[in-house]
Amino acid sequence: MSLGFRLWDILPKMNRSLAPSKAQCLRRCGAANIARTRLHTIAAAAAPVAGERRAKANIDWDTLGFGLKDVAATMYVAEWTPEKGWDSGKLVPYGPLNMMPSAQVLNYGQAIFEGMKAQESAKGRVVLFRPDQNAARFKAGAARMSMPAVPEDQFVEAVRATVENNLDYVPPMGKGSLYLRPLLMGTGPILGLGPAPGYTFAIFAAAVGAYFKGGQLSPIDLIVEERFHRAAPGGMGGTKAAGNYSPVLVTQLEAKKNGFADVVYLDAKTDTYLEEVSSCNIFVVKGKTIKTPPLSGTILPGVTRRSIIELARSRGYDVQEAAVSVHEAMEADEIFTTGTAVVVSSVGSLTYRGNKKAYTAPGQAGPVALEMYSALTDIQTEKADDKFSWVYPVK
């Protein structure tokens, strides 16, 4: 058992031969010059052909939620050792990963993750959205957590191969998406605090629908949280570390019990300025000005956040990355949130110290949120021209 880690017992029975991949060069991070020898090939077992798409999944596409009910059959796994670095990885059946109780990730939490989506486009093919940005953030997160970075070309190729080998689970256009969860974990055993002696890079996927229960465009009600903070200056707020997320559950669950969809966190210094919702960025609209809190180390640099900033500016909005006080938010014309899972979600109301400000009519999305959602998803599904070169074809 290498480094106390092995895959489930079925792995030795698999065909481990490697077939040449059809990897495409990354466009947005200069990968056109990457030597083909660095594009890692992936096992192509059970790759569906175009005519058989969705034949095996047996999924009710009209009732998709955001969960693991329809988890994809295949996942990707690669391992790192000090002697060999990252191996080329392989596709294996989705299932448990065995590791020792002394695995670093189980004791000291050395782990980061990403969230991505693959969708069917209007051109009849499956596409990813800005995978180079996720690869770059994954690399930055690894550095912050003292883990060996996954090469960006290997990351994108692994994501592409995972999607290609799970095409049955990509919903029809407009019904949802194939959500992908890349993970980087310190799986090597260790007792004292320190970096793990071995690491695992894994990607699993699931067919999903809307993140919030009301549906993709249903406005959500938020409450401002004043007891707890999501992050502090000099901390981990800007890293997609696994340990950043469970601490929000105590406030999120309480908010949901009281009829809210989620909470908005304030800055840890003054309890004055908006930072983030539990798992998404926030935007405040006043006239033709859109403001979002700046990336100062406490806020996650969201890929959707960045895309909305670029998209809104191209559509004539004055977009400012600047501090937004809670009082300014209560006087705003509109608020919306962004993230891979939520895409763009209109905020119906914000409650602060018992005062509730409504921004939309019941059940109706705000006009700017709706405009941004439509413009972004039209690009993501190739209904509109992709002048930003954000879309990455898979199949």
Helices (H), 128-172: 131-144, 152-164
**pLDDT score for 37:** 35
Give the separation between CA 22 and CA 26, rounded to whole angstroms. Answer: 13
Q: What is the mean pLDDT of each run of 10 residues along the chain (395 residues)?
A: 38 34 37 35 39 67 92 97 97 96 98 97 96 98 98 98 97 94 98 98 95 75 95 93 93 95 96 94 98 95 97 98 98 97 94 97 94 96 97 91
Are the C-beta atoms of residues 102 and 196 closer than 8 Å to each other? no
**pLDDT score for 279:** 86
Going by the DSSP 8-state scheme, the letter that residue 65 receives in this structure is: -
The pair phi, psi for residue 71, each rounded to 5°, is: -70, 140
**pLDDT score for 215:** 61
**pLDDT score for 367:** 96
The pTM of the full predicted model, rounded to 2 decimals, is 0.85
**pLDDT score for 56:** 61
Q: What domains does the chain contain, in order, with CATH numbers?
A: 74-208 (3.30.470.10), 220-383 (3.20.10.10)
Contacts 24+ apart (CB under 8 A), 308-314: 308/283, 308/338, 308/344, 308/372, 308/376, 310/388, 311/372, 311/375, 311/376, 311/379, 311/388, 312/372
* Residues that are catalytic: 240
**pLDDT score for 270:** 96
Buried/exposed 23-50: b ≥16 CB within 10 Å, e otherwise: beebeebebeebeeeebbbbbbbebbee
**pLDDT score for 291:** 98
